[in-house]
Amino acid sequence: MYFNFLTNEKTYHICIETLRNIIYDYDISETEVQRINEEWKGLSLEEDIFLVDEDPKFWSAYIYKGISKGRLGFKTNTSGYVLCLEIVRMMKNDFGISTEEAIGRIRSKWIGNDIIDEDDLVFHEGPKDWAYNIYYGHDSYWWTKSKEELAELSPLPYNEE
């Protein structure tokens, strides 16, 4: 299979497995699966970056349920896309929430605010800061809490759409 982005052998196999998962899990045709080319177009996946840190099941859910369906509600450039990927991963790992909930929380936070300029304020914080701010809220002062205090915090309400 041909991809519209640069990749090494390891990431190529992850992409292939992701495509297989999309076909199997969501019962769509291989032609429809070409959306992965659109999702990662312009990225260079030659280095072992974020892609290899997750199971292909994560990526198939992210691509099928997430940005590929335009469900974020805002436009973003490659840097914003990667930031959103990292925020989703962090929220899943640190809070044990689903890919869909993480995407939904990001969407709720930034809907209608295009992130297409490298000088955008969202790039002044890292994925961890955004994940925790989106999940707990800035007013929770999560960064001042110990691990024990953090475990006592309640997440912001989330309404599935």
The residue behind tokens 């640190």 is 94
**pTM tops 0.75, yes or no:** no
pLDDT of residue 16: 80
| pLDDT tens digits for range 9-37 | 777 787 788 888 878 887 777 776 676 67
φ and ψ at residue 66, rounded to 5 degrees: -105, -120
Position 118 scores a pLDDT of 75
**Segment 132-140 mean pLDDT:** 95
